[in-house]
Amino acid sequence: MRIGILGSGGLGTALAARWTAAGHDVLTSGRDPRRTGHGFADAAAHGTDALLLAVPDHAALAVLDAVGAGGGALAGRTVIDCTVPLVPGTLTLSTAGGPPMAARIAAAAPGAHVVKAFTFAPAAVWTGGPPVFDGDPLGVPLCGDDPGALATVGRLVADLGAAPVPGGGLERAALAEAASAFMIGLWAAGADARTVLPRADAEAARPTLGRR
């Protein structure tokens, strides 16, 4: 696939390296083309199969505007949103009381197929080999409305050695963003976030909806 990466931070760089190793044609860009060799417009033009939006949430809408997303430049394209909208220096959602970041990105890129993904694992998880823990591949929840875009991102997740996990429609991205912020807080406190939830195959871990 032809993948464009908007952003040259840790996560975008790590995923770009892994996808390149898997045989994909990847172009990474940054605000300063002198650092990456390419600007955001280059990556947007290159990523005809998928475009990863890997910039800080407070810069995401400006970057989309810079590549003409508001005018329909990304219509029909798969846009992967991996932002976690936090107030700088805090663990509080910057979108509290308003639309989630994924919805704002979809509104800023009319016609694009936005998929929320890669919000639960930091860049370091993707810099080594396949992310496998206790024999199980890392699950990557995907929230989106377009079946084709979900299939594309699911394949890219699998090419990383991880497992795509259906997370529902894009409206559920708000839950993913909030859960990511909560998990980041646990990690910051030194907790092992993997111990918070039981395995799905544990009989005692199967609550009935609406019951506790």
| Residue 169: C-alpha distances to residues 136, 143, 174, 188 (Å) | 25, 5, 10, 29
| The pLDDT of residue 142 | 98
Return the CATH number of the domain spanning residue range 2-205.
3.40.50.720
- Average pLDDT score over residue span 30-45: 91
Question: Regarding predicted confidence, which is higher, 163 or 98?
Answer: 163
| The pLDDT of residue 203 | 52
Q: Which helix (H) or strand (E) holds 4?
A: strand 2-6
d(CA 48, CA 77): 7
Q: How many CB atoms lie within 10 A of CB 147?
A: 9
List the domain boundaries for the chain: 2-205
* 88-123 residue pLDDT tens: 888 889 998 889 999 999 999 999 999 999 999 889
The amino acid occupying position 163 is A
Q: What is the DSSP string of 140-157?
A: EEEEES-HHHHHHHHHHH
* 180-206 residue pLDDT tens: 999 888 888 888 877 787 776 655 555
% the chain with pLDDT above 70: 94
| Residue 114: C-alpha distances to residues 30, 38, 142, 155, 191 (Å) | 20, 23, 10, 15, 31
Phi-psi region of 37 (alpha: psi -120 to 50; beta: other; left: phi over 0): left
